[in-house]
Amino acid sequence: MAALKPLLPPPPPGAGGPFALSDEGALRSLVASAGLTPQSIEDVDVTWQFENLDTALAAMLAAGPSILAIQTSGRDRVRATLEQAIAPFRPSDSRYRLENRFRYLLATRD
C-alpha cells in the first residue's frame, strides 16, 4: 500500500486513508455507528507466497487499490512500482514471500 500511495488520487477531504480502521477505537466506533455491538478484535498473520514475479503481480494488480492506481497512473507504472516494492521479499529462488497482518472485528446486532 505504501508503494502505491503516490500513484493514487488524493483521498476525499477528511478521509482517514487505507489504514484508518487499524486503530481499535476507530474500528469500534464505526461498527457502533452502524448499530452493531463490537465484541472482539483480533489480528491474524497471513503469508502470501507466489511462485514467480508474474503470479505475484497478477494477484496484486487485481486488488482494489491497484485498480484505482491503474486508473490514475497507468498499468505500466503501477506494475513497475509493485515489482520494485516486492523485490526485497524474494528469497534466493524465484518465489516471493510476503508476511501480512490483518485485523478483523466480530460484532453482534442487539
**Positive or negative: CA dihedral 16, 21, 22, 23:** positive
Instruction: Identify whether 3 is part of a domain.
Output: no
pLDDT digits (tens, 9 = 90+) for 12-25: 888 877 778 888 99
Look up the domain containing 51 and give its range: 22-108
Percent of the chain topping pLDDT 70 = 100
Number of structural domains (the chain) is 1
Regarding pTM above 0.85, the answer is no
Instruction: Identify whether 5 is part of a domain.
Output: no
Instruction: Identify whether 83 is part of a domain.
Output: yes
Instruction: Identify whether 94 is part of a domain.
Output: yes
The mean pLDDT value for 59-64 works out to: 95
